[in-house]
Every structure is written in C-alpha cells, then in structure tokens.
Amino acid sequence: MSTSSPALPRPKRTIGISLKLYFDHPKTVSYLAALQPLNALAQSHDISLFLIPSMISLPLLLAQQSTASSNPTSSPQILLGAQNSFYEDDGAYTGEVSPLGLAQLGCSLVELGHAERRRLFGEDDAVVALKARASLRNGMVPLVCIGEKHEGSVEEAVAECRSQVESILDVLDESEKTNKGARKEIIFAYEPVWAIGQPTPAPAEYVVNVVKALRDICVQRGRGGHGEIRFLYGGSAGPGTFEKMSEGVDGLFLGRFGHDPKRVREVIEEVARA
Ligand SMILES: O=C[C@H](O)COP(=O)(O)O
C-alpha cells in the first residue's frame, strides 16, 4: 500500500462542528451567536468554518443568516449544513427532507452516512451515494462520513473505507457527465467508528496513514486536485488533535469537544498555526 500522495495543492483548511441531537433549539441559537465572531477569526486565517445543527433549528438559523447577510456591513456568516437529506427533491416521501428545499433555504452542506445513521437507520453506501448525488445536483457539498468499524491495522481500515470512498467518486464522475452544472466538491469526514464518543481521538500516525492512502485512491481516479476533495478527521477530536495530524488531514470535524466555543477558538488557533 502506498502512503505517498503526489504533491497537489492542499485544499482549504476546514473546521466543522456537528451538534447531532445534543442541543435544544434555544441552546443552538445561543451557540451560533457565540460562534459567529469565531468565524471572522477563522476567515482571517483562510480557514473555512461550518456548523451542522439539528434539522429542527436549521431553517430558522438559515433565515436569520439571510436577514443578517442583507446588511452590507455584516461580517460573512458561518456556513450551515444539514445532518441528512433525502435523495429525491419531491414526491410521496412522508417525513423526508428535500435536498432542493435545503438548497433553496441557503444550506451549504449535507452530512451523509454518519456512523450513527449507518448503524441506527440502516444507511449503506448505495443510499449515501444517491444522497450525495442529490446534494451535488442541488449545488450543496456532500460531507460524507466514512470509517472502519473496529480498531485494527491501517491496511484493514483502508480496505474497509475503500468502497465508501469509491462509491462517492463514482457519483462525482457521473454527476459531471450528466449534469455539467453540478457541484464538484466533496468533503470526506474520516471517522473511525471506534473513535467516536471516546475520551481521546484515534492515534495521529494511524489517521495520517489511513487518510494518505484514501487520498491516493482519489488521486488514482484523477480526483483531488484544485481542492475538490477535502479530508477531515472526526472522532473525539478537540484542541490538541490537529497539530499532531496536520500533515495528513485538511481539518477537523468536531462533535462533543466543539460544544464549548472556547474550545472551538483553540482549535481555530491551532489550525492557523499548523
Ligand atoms: O460527528 C461528529 C463525530 O461523530 C465525532 O463526535 P465526537 O467528537 O463527539 O466523538
């Protein structure tokens, strides 16, 4: 297995936070307000910052942002994403969330295939691929969560993640052929399932080697140049995580350790230094 990626321009450094279903609506609103000044800090270091709140809060936050953006003196708003969406835009799909509707509200990204959705709601690579296609079609960036279930060797992890990555590269190829205007950007959140919800992240060297190999898979398919593919690390990440793995990953996807804005500030400063 090769662990050397050809020298391509590094994609933009990125920090994302998912609130999963941890915060109620009022807490989510206050959290975003606390995060907004940190977005300016991130931008000053050319770091992209995004937040994925629960689906209930998302439309209101997007509406608030749209109002704020209409003020020419307001600073740029943090990017907001959805924790899921359906693969059809409309039809008889009771309870589903339309990707078209999300795009119309100004949603920037759609998180897909998180380990919790794969485990609790039976999502597999085929469904995640359909949803990724729908996000691209609607001009949103798919944030595709990938990762091996059990702790083992780098080779075993890469073997398990390979199909998760390749199914999305297939979508990118097909979207390009069938819809010239489709978005051509993917963010992979590499989250070893065994490292989610733990006190500490997966070992940095292990993460760097897995991600290098997954990036090579993209490069061998002619993908990954010009920042079209980013790899973030997620799984008990927080302050102190990025500096150890900065040679391999383009940023972090935070869960619990991003719930305190002070820690998000520390992570931004760390990514800016790395
Ligand atoms: O979506 C985020 C990841 O699942 C990581 O969550 P965690 O940092 O709370 O383990």
Q: Is 191 a catalytic residue?
A: yes
pTM summary value: 0.94
Nearest to 145 by CA among 78, 203, 231, 208: 231
Question: What is the pLDDT, as a whole number, of residue 89?
Answer: 98
From the CA of 190, how far away is ligand 1's center (Å)? Answer: 11
Domains of the chain by start residue, with CATH? 14-273 (3.20.20.70)
Active-site residue (options: 111, 123, 191, 270): 191
Q: How confident is the model over 247-262, as a mean pLDDT? A: 97
From the CA of 115, give the closest atom in ligand 1: 4
From the CA of 26, how far away is ligand 1's center (Å)? Answer: 21
List beta partners, residue 145. Answer: 189
- DSSP single-letter state for residue 225: G
Question: Which residue would you say has higher pLDDT here, 256 or 228?
Answer: 256
CB of 256 sitting under 6 A from ligand 1: yes
Question: What is the pLDDT, as a whole number, of residue 184?
Answer: 82
Q: State pLDDT tens for residues 113-135.
A: 999 999 999 999 999 999 999 99
The CA–CA distances, whole Å, from 118 to 30, 128, 246, 271 equal 30, 9, 28, 30
CB of 18 sitting under 6 A from ligand 1: yes
Coil/strand/helix, residue 131: helix
Q: How confident is the model over 92-102, as a mean pLDDT? A: 97
Question: What is the pLDDT, as a whole number, of residue 10?
Answer: 63
Question: Which residue would you say has higher pLDDT here, 181 or 219?
Answer: 219
Question: What is the pLDDT, as a whole number, of residue 4?
Answer: 41
> Which of 19, 52, 143, 253, when mutated, tests ligand 1's pocket best, judged by the most ligand atoms within 8 Å of its CB?
253
CB 115 within 8 A of CB 147: yes
Q: State pLDDT tens for residues 19-63.
A: 999 999 999 999 999 999 999 999 999 999 999 999 999 999 999
Q: How confident is the model over 147-152, as a mean pLDDT? A: 97
Q: Is 45 a catalytic residue?
A: no
Could you tell me what percent of the chain has a pLDDT over 90? 83
* pLDDT(5) > 90: no
| Phi, psi torsion values for 263, nearest 5 degrees | -70, -35
> Which of 254, 259, 264, 267, when mutated, tests ligand 1's pocket best, judged by the most ligand atoms within 8 Å of its CB?
254
CB of 39 sitting under 6 A from ligand 1: no
From the CA of 73, how far away is ligand 1's center (Å)? Answer: 35
CB of 137 sitting under 6 A from ligand 1: no
Residue 13 has which token pair? 């450094």
Coil/strand/helix, residue 79: strand
Question: What is the pLDDT, as a whole number, of residue 206?
Answer: 98
From the CA of 111, give the closest atom in ligand 1: 1
Question: What is the pLDDT, as a whole number, of residue 225?
Answer: 62
